[in-house]
């Protein structure tokens, strides 16, 4: 089906630290691509550049065949790329349902302010809350949810924009196994409906069962890319995880 996302030679320095050092890989349309690598290998920095939260020093990004000169978060969201954060970000002071409704694409003139969400938007939000087993908490403030529930809410929120590509930064970190299973089921469900995913994770059982291909980063470069069994048998990958 071809690549939905292609990155070539992406680079980022923070002072003397080379966080990303000429990183190149692609995400095929319809795949659940994994992005793994030791702590500090540059995974989140790559995601931040892709989604427009950080300017890159060099490199190019193609999304849906179009070169994205300077990605910015709102423009990327409109183009169909949504992301979650390594530490879940929700709007803690407003209720769970409203967290979803504010993420719905706005129609009409912004000058009218936050117009009342239409029926279809509310229905879709309620369906997502059912899917993520958050429906009983629809009127609770998001800040009152457990950390795992906030990760689920954040995932549900990014789906409100009806994205084509979802970037997940460590969706299972700090989440109990029941919610990890729920997260896995939802990823599979939306993948079956045509969504493409790029998933950063340290949970190897989760990555190996869900993702194909898997891209391995080390010191900001792509070290290897391939099917789960190839990654598990690759000596360079083993060295990267066991070495320095």
Ligand X SMILES: Nc1ncnc2c1ncn2[C@@H]1O[C@H](COP(=O)(O)OP(=O)(O)OP(=O)(O)O)[C@@H](O)[C@H]1O
Instruction: Enumerate binding residues for ligand X (CB under 6 A).
Output: 14, 17, 19, 37, 39-45, 86
Q: Which is nearer to ligand X, 80 or 174 (CB)?
A: 174
Residues 6+ positions from 48 with CB-CB distance below 8 Å? 54
Enumerate the β-bridge partners of residue 95: 141
Q: Which is nearer to ligand X, 45 or 99 (CB)?
A: 45
For Mg ion, how many residues bind (rule: CB under 5 A)? 3
Partner in contact with 17, chosen from ligand X, Mg ion, none, beta carbon below 5 to 8 Å by kind: ligand X
By CB under 5 A, residue 45 contacts Mg ion: no
Query: Segment 74-93, which members bind Mg ion (CB under 5 A)?
Result: 86
Partner in contact with 51, chosen from Mg ion, ligand X, none, beta carbon below 5 to 8 Å by kind: none
Q: How far is the CB of 164 from ligand X (least distance, A)?
A: 24
By CB under 5 A, residue 48 contacts Mg ion: no
By CB under 5 A, residue 44 contacts Mg ion: yes
Partner in contact with 74, chosen from ligand X, Mg ion, none, beta carbon below 5 to 8 Å by kind: none
Q: How far is the CB of 139 from Mg ion (least distance, A)?
A: 33
What is the distance of C-alpha 193 from the center of its chain?
17
Angle at 5 between CA 9 and CA 191, to 5 degrees: 140
Q: How far is the CB of 43 from ligand X (least distance, A)?
A: 3
Per-residue 3-state assignment (H helix, E strand, C coil) for 75-119: HHHHHCEEECCCCCCCCCCCEHHHHHHHCCCCCCCHHHCCCCCCH
By CB under 5 A, residue 172 contacts Mg ion: no
- β-strands 32-36, 214-218: how paired? parallel
Q: How far is the CB of 137 from Mg ion (least distance, A)?
A: 28
Alpha helix ranges (H) inside 194-243: 204-210, 228-233, 235-242
Reported as type and span, the H/E element at residue 4 is strand 3-14
CB 172 within 8 A of CB 140: no
Q: How far is the CB of 213 from ligand X (least distance, A)?
A: 18
Q: How far is the CB of 20 from ligand X (least distance, A)?
A: 7
Partner in contact with 19, chosen from ligand X, Mg ion, none, beta carbon below 5 to 8 Å by kind: ligand X
CB 214 within 8 A of CB 182: no
Taking each continuous run of H as one helix and of E as one strand, the counts in the chain are 9, 10
By CB under 5 A, residue 222 contacts Mg ion: no
Partner in contact with 40, chosen from ligand X, Mg ion, none, beta carbon below 5 to 8 Å by kind: ligand X
Reported as type and span, the H/E element at residue 150 is helix 147-159
By CB under 5 A, residue 196 contacts Mg ion: no
């Amino acid at each position: 089906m071809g690549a939905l996302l292609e990155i070539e030679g992406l680079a980022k320095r923070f002072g003397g630290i080379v966080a990303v050092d000429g990183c190149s890989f692609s995400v095929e349309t319809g795949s659940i691509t994994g992005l793994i690598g030791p702590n500090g290998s540059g995974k989140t920095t790559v995601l931040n550049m892709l989604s427009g939260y950080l300017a890159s020093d060099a490199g190019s990004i193609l999304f849906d065949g179009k070169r994205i000169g300077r990605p910015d978060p709102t423009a990327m969201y409109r183009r169909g790329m949504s992301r979650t954060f390594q530490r879940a970000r929700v709007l803690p002071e407003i209720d769970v349902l409203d967290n979803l409704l504010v993420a719905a694409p706005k129609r009409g003139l912004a000058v009218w302010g936050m117009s009342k969400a239409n029926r279809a938007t509310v229905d879709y939000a309620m369906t997502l809350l059912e899917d993520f087993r958050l429906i009983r908490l629809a009127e609770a403030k998001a800040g009152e949810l457990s950390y795992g529930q906030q990760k689920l809410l954040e995932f549900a929120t990014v789906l409100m924009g009806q994205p084509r590509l979802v970037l997940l930064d460590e969706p299972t970190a700090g989440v109990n196994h029941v919610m990890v299973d729920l997260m896995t089921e939802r990823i599979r469900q939306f993948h079956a409906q045509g969504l493409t995913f790029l998933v950063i994770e340290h949970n190897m059982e989760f990555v190996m069962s869900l993702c194909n291909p898997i891209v391995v980063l080390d010191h900001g470069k792509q070290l290897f890319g391939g099917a789960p069994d190839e990654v598990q048998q690759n000596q360079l990958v083993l060295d990267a995880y066991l070495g320095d």
